[in-house]
Chain A
C-alpha cells in the first residue's frame, strides 16, 4: 500500500512520515499530481497559516486535485481546516470539501483559555471506524488558534472555550485537528484505523 503525504509549505511533515514508518507503511512526500492521484491513501498534514498555504496549493494546482480525489484522504491540523469552505484566518477561501467554517478562538478571559490551544485534550462523542477502539477518555495533542465548527460531519468533539470538531468525515475525506503523529498510542491507533479503511 502506498501512502502519499502531500508536500507543501507546511511545518514538520517529517513527524508524519516517521509515524507512518513506525506503522510499517510505505509513505512518500510529494507534490506531484499524478503520484498523489495514484496513491492508495493520501495524508494532507499541516501547520502554518491558511492563506499562504492556499496560495501554495493553487500554484501547484493541488486545489483542483484534492477535492476530486476518491481514495481515503486524511487532513491533519491545518489540513483539516483547509478542507473546509472558509477560514477566518486572513479571510481565506479554502478547498470546500466540508461545508464548514473555520473560526478563531475568542475566549472571554485569556487567563482561563490561552490561545493557541496547546496541549492534550480529550475527544468525545466518537463515531465511525476511524475512532474504533477509542473511548471518551482518549487524549490527543493540539496546537491551534482556529477551529472547525460543529456540523453534521463532526465525528468527534473536543471542548476548549466551546465544543468544536475534533474530527470530521464526509465520503472518502477524513480530517483531524489534533496531531495524530504526536498523540501517543491514541494517535497511533487513529492512523492505524485510517490505514485499514
Chain B
C-alpha cells in the first residue's frame, strides 16, 4: 500500500543549515549532510533543502552541497530556493538532486513549468505555492509569503498541474509558524481537485496535526521543519503514532 510521506525541511544558507537544531548526536549542528543522514536513519521518507542564500555565485556552492548529500543518503530529496532557469535545474539534477522546487519563478513566468517538465520530466518538478487567505479568498503570495499576487490559489494549483508539475508543495502562510495544525481545508480542496500529489506544509505542532492533514486534509505528504529540528516530535515516535491511528506509513 502506498504510504503517506513525512518530510523534514532544512533551510540552507551558504552551505550550512540555518535554523537552530537540537540534536545531541550532531558533531556539527550546521552541517546539512550530517543532519540529512540522521533524518534518513530515523525514517524520514524524503527531505527538502531550501536554499536561502542571497548571493549570486551561490549556485556552485549549492551544487557542491547537493553532491555531498546525494553521496551520503539513499532517500529522495528535493532542492529549492532561487531556482529560475532550466540551466539551474540541470546543474542541481546532475549533482544528484531527485527533484527541484520552484516558487516565485513559476509565478513570474509560468511557461518555465512546461519547459522544465518537458526537459526533465514532471516527476522532478515540484511547484511550491505559498497561500494566504484574504477576506475569505485564497491568494498566492511570493517572497516568503510577504508579497500578494492576483492569482487565486485554487486556479493557480490547477494551472501548474496542467502545465506539467509533478507535485505541489502547498504552504499556508496563515498557519506557518503557528504550530496550530496544517491548513486542512484548502489542502483537501486542492488535493481532491488534482491528479498529482500534494505536500502539505505550515502549522505542524504535534502528532495529531499530521494525522489530521492525512485524513481531513487528504495530503499525500506532510512537511515540517522546527518540530523535527528541535526534536519536539521525533520521527520514529510520529510514525509509530500514525501507524497506531491506522494511517498507512513506511516502517
Contact = CB atoms under 8 A, between A and B. Distances in A.
- Secondary structure at the A interface, as helix, strand, loop or mixed, is mixed
Contacts of B221: 119
Interface centre among B122, B194, B220, B250 (most CB of A within 10 A): B250
Given A12-B93, A18-B71, A111 B1 contact: no
Interface in B42-56: 45
Interface stretch (A62-70, A94-102, A176-184): A176-184
Residue with the highest number of chain B CB atoms closer than 10 Å, among A21, A47, A49, A142: A47
B195 to A, nearest CB: 4
Contacts, number: 94
Given A114-B196, A182-B74, A182-B75, A139 B3 contact: yes
Nearest to A114: B197
B145 to A, nearest CB: 26
A119 B70 contact: no
A139 B122 CA distance: 23
B5 A11 contact: no
What is the size category of the interface that chain A forms with chain B? 35 or more
The main secondary structure of chain B at its interface with chain A is loop
Interface string B190-224: 01101111000000000000000000001011000
Interface string A9-52: 00110110011011000000000000000000000000111000
B70 A18 contact: yes
Interface size class of B (residues with CB under 8 A): 35 or more
Contact of A21 (B4, B40, B45, B71): B71
Given A110-B195, A118-B220, A137-B251, A12 B98 contact: yes
A139 B4 CA distance: 12
B123 interface: yes
B74 A187 contact: yes
Most chain B beta-carbon neighbours within 10 Å: one of A116, A144, A179: A116
Given A12-B97, A111-B191, A184-B74, 6 more contacts: A11-B121, A12-B124, A22-B74, A117-B2, A120-B5, A184-B75
